[in-house]
Amino acid sequence: MTRLSSAILLLAATAAAQDHVFTMGFASAAGPGALTNGNHPSARVKDNDLDGAILVPAELHTFLSTCYHTTGGACFMTDVRAVVTDGEYEFFFTDSEQGRVVRGVDANHNGLLDRLEDSNGNGLLDVGEDVNGNSVLDTEVSEFFFFGIRTTAGAVNLLAPDTLGVYRDNTTGQTRVYAAIDNPSNLGYARGIYKLVDLNGDGDAKDVGENSVFVNSTIALTTPGLGTPLPNFWQQVRILPGGKVIGYASGTTYIATTARTNENAWYGFTDNGGASAATVELWFNCSQLNVLPQHPDFASGAFPVWDIDYINATVPTRRTFARWLAVSEFGGTAGAVPAYYIASSYTWSTIQAPPTFGDINVNGQHVSGLIYKVNDLNNNQSIDAGELSLWCNLSGAAVGTMAPVSFQNAQSGVTINTLNDRTWSIDATKDGAFHFVYANGGGADAVVTMKDGNLNDVIDTGEITMTYYTSAPGGTFPPPFNPTLGPYFSTGHLSLSDGAMPGPFGTGLAVLGDGCVQPTTGMKSVMDAWGGSPQQGNTNFKVGSIRGIAGFPSIMTLDGALQPVPIPLSAVGFPNGCSLYGFNPQIFGFAFGDGVGRAFFGAGIPANPGLIGQTAIFQGAVLDIASPAAIQWHTTNALLVTIQP
């Protein structure tokens, strides 16, 4: 895939990306209410009306309606990552309750991961089996790997894998999944990080030779220069743009204030393709609770240490919670280099009842809300001296010369000067935005977004907003959350760049067919819609194409009928995979792609009851001059718009 230049990326829209996928614990394949405290396994929120905020419930959707179980049952989704494969996003989830890695691909481009199952085996999609009202069986969700259940005495579930990293190797055409488990399983899998690769293209990594131990105690890996064996308890796994695997190692127990050998630190692993053990390095350490060297910028004393004391521990106990890592391929200085964000998952002490731990470090400083950024200036996948800086200070106190910042709680209107509730997970997008999921009190949750709008490499007050929150209107939470207990966001979520995923589509909107892959972006151009549903009188309704190229032209066509069978267009000079869906398409409009490749076409609907029930068929075409085809226009799928009352 050809990478976008930094010049094009700098054309990105000023508003931060507002499209997020949440994993949810206490979930059920049967949906909210099926368990005492059940949610759907995954939710998606998207700013459909383009106003910079996400409204609940209009812009809240069930993204994953099953955790692969075909007959219901509990699941606990804890992490999600995605890579682009064959022009479409390939999502991977960890189901910690059932010991699974679940894979999903939005093959029909409706913005959801559907699994429709003939659960009674009668050859039909009966009531309750066809959740989308489709006439064909979708199989967009599958079990990628099964680790089994944990062997701890009295345990009924695994509580692992908890985290995973995913990398698409475009040279080999393979997707590599690295999943960490923190309990031994009944199928013989010990603690550690496992490598899962679908070698035969059947959608899973369960065949012989497709799964192997990547890092655990059976492999004699040691920290270079120190000779200490690696720990075997991994709380987060992420992949850098160059393919380096990064894992945060945390000890299994903490019963004293004495230093541990090699815990509370990030390690980096270079995958040698199975020919030999992975090459290991100490990637980042900001703790004094080990014998490892601290990163030079922390060792200098410029930043507060992240080691804290448990408040009510029976035995004096210390821990470090610097386990969050977000990676942005083009998020570094001027969008030209990768950026890595490192943050903590502390809970502020007064929220606990009784308090168990807080965020006051061993020197009496608040450390929750301190977010560090690494500009990988030489793109070597390491953190060199001088590349790390304090990017956001939400601690409530000055750190050196950096004053604290604040943001407004969009739900309560209260100004938040220091984080006073749980931080669940973080992520970053290539437009330079950073997002974290914040427990917003009373069962509610929120997304807090920050973006360095003035490009001074720090977050100033005014550059942080709570772009999404959910509360219980009238005492009831909206689907896909449990109606009384609300959401339970787990340890990972995924932030998508604007224009990366279509839909989800409401009533009156449906998609048909496929787009063709553009060489510049490596993605299929597909249709999307904004501004609400296609109701008569909705003058804000828009249609358009996504995944195009910033600044490049797009054409939109309009038709009143579909071809009986899509017509392949490669025979007349279009790129492979392009098709015509309309019967007699007419030019509807011409537009240029915005900073993230979206082309908008106003399709406002007059307030005319006579239009109700009429259907229009839209199909776009996006120019990509990198295409070797004679005609360099890449067609989208078709969007069917039926006007609603």
| Reported confidence tier of residue 43, pLDDT bands at 50, 70, 90 | very high
The three-class DSSP label of residue 545 is: strand
The three-class DSSP label of residue 166 is: strand
Higher pLDDT pick, 519 / 29 = 519
- Considering the domain architecture, whether residues 392 and 347 belong to the same structural domain is answered as yes
Per the structure, the complete domain to which residue 55 belongs is given by: 6-98+106-122+137-495
3-state secondary structure 299-313: HCCCCCCCEEEECCC
Return d(Cα 243, Cα 184) in angstroms, integer. Answer: 27
Q: What is the pLDDT of residues 56-84, one digit of tens each?
A: 888 999 998 877 755 556 888 999 999 99
- Considering the domain architecture, whether residues 536 and 637 belong to the same structural domain is answered as yes
The pLDDT, as a whole number, for residue 125 is: 42
Q: Which of 123-127, 199-203, 346-350, 511-515 has the weakest average pLDDT? A: 123-127
**594 and 626 in contact (C-beta within 8 Å)?**
no
Number of domains the chain is built from = 2
- Considering the domain architecture, whether residues 420 and 306 belong to the same structural domain is answered as yes
- Considering the domain architecture, whether residues 517 and 471 belong to the same structural domain is answered as no
- Considering the domain architecture, whether residues 513 and 491 belong to the same structural domain is answered as no
Tell me, what amino acid is at 185?
S
Instruction: Give me 581's structure tokens.
Output: 């869906």
| Reported confidence tier of residue 582, pLDDT bands at 50, 70, 90 | very high
Please check whether residue 427 lies inside any domain of the structure: yes
Higher pLDDT pick, 553 / 470 = 553
Residues 6+ apart with CB under 8 A from 228: 222, 261, 262, 291, 292
- Considering the domain architecture, whether residues 376 and 418 belong to the same structural domain is answered as yes
Please check whether residue 323 lies inside any domain of the structure: yes
Tell me, what amino acid is at 321?
F
Residue 155 scores a pLDDT above 80:
no
**217 and 229 in contact (C-beta within 8 Å)?**
yes
Nearest-10 Cα torsion for 182, 183, 188, 192: 20
The DSSP-derived string for 267-281 is EEEE--TTSSPPEEE
**78 and 491 in contact (C-beta within 8 Å)?**
yes
Please check whether residue 452 lies inside any domain of the structure: yes
**443 and 489 in contact (C-beta within 8 Å)?**
no
Burial of 77 (0-12, 13-18, 19+ CB in 10 A): buried
| Reported confidence tier of residue 11, pLDDT bands at 50, 70, 90 | very low
- Phi, psi (rounded to 5 degrees) for 327: -125, 130
The pLDDT, as a whole number, for residue 7 is: 30
Write down the mean pLDDT value for the chain.
85
For the residues 187-196, what does the mean pLDDT come to? 92
- Considering the domain architecture, whether residues 516 and 455 belong to the same structural domain is answered as no
List 181's β-bridge partners, or say none. 192
Return d(Cα 252, Cα 229) in angstroms, integer. Answer: 15
Q: What is the pLDDT of residues 217-230, one digit of tens each?
A: 788 888 887 888 88
CATH of the domain at 636: 2.60.40.10
List 582's β-bridge partners, or say none. 562
The pLDDT, as a whole number, for residue 221 is: 86
For the residues 606-622, what does the mean pLDDT come to? 95
For the residues 380-407, what does the mean pLDDT come to? 93
**111 and 503 in contact (C-beta within 8 Å)?**
yes
Q: Kindly provide the residue ranges of all beta strands, DSSP E only, lying in 355-455, ordered along the sequence.
A: 357-361, 370-375, 388-393, 407-408, 415-416, 423-428, 433-439, 445-451
| Reported confidence tier of residue 442, pLDDT bands at 50, 70, 90 | low
Tell me, what amino acid is at 375?
N
- Considering the domain architecture, whether residues 437 and 577 belong to the same structural domain is answered as no
The pLDDT, as a whole number, for residue 255 is: 61
The pLDDT, as a whole number, for residue 320 is: 84
Of 619, 588, 616, the C-alpha closest to 525 is 619
Tokens 């507002």: give the residue. 18
Final residue belonging to a domain, choices 437, 469, 495: 495
Return d(Cα 341, Cα 428) in angstroms, integer. Answer: 8
Pairing of strands 174-181, 60-64: unpaired
Return d(Cα 188, Cα 196) in angstroms, integer. Answer: 16
Return d(Cα 412, Cα 40) in angstroms, integer. Answer: 26
Tell me, what amino acid is at 48?
N
- Considering the domain architecture, whether residues 395 and 463 belong to the same structural domain is answered as yes
**244 and 216 in contact (C-beta within 8 Å)?**
no
Please check whether residue 500 lies inside any domain of the structure: no
Please check whether residue 583 lies inside any domain of the structure: yes
The three-class DSSP label of residue 143 is: strand
Tokens 């009373």: give the residue. 442
Residues 6+ apart with CB under 8 A from 629: 570, 573, 574, 575, 576
For the residues 550-554, what does the mean pLDDT come to? 96
Final residue belonging to a domain, choices 495, 524, 558: 495
The pLDDT, as a whole number, for residue 334 is: 65
The pLDDT, as a whole number, for residue 5 is: 32
Q: What is the pLDDT of residues 408-423, one digit of tens each?
A: 998 888 999 988 777 8
Final residue belonging to a domain, choices 449, 468, 495: 495
The pLDDT, as a whole number, for residue 152 is: 66
- Considering the domain architecture, whether residues 247 and 335 belong to the same structural domain is answered as yes
Please check whether residue 501 lies inside any domain of the structure: no
User: How many CB atoms are closer than 10 A to CB 281?
Assistant: 16
55-65 exposure pattern, b = at least 16 Cβ within 10 A, e = fewer: ebeebbbbbbb
The pLDDT, as a whole number, for residue 2 is: 32
Residue 137 scores a pLDDT above 70:
no
The pLDDT, as a whole number, for residue 222 is: 85
DSSP assigned state of 227: -
- Considering the domain architecture, whether residues 487 and 514 belong to the same structural domain is answered as no
- Considering the domain architecture, whether residues 440 and 546 belong to the same structural domain is answered as no
How distant is the alpha carbon of residue 357 from its chain centre?
28
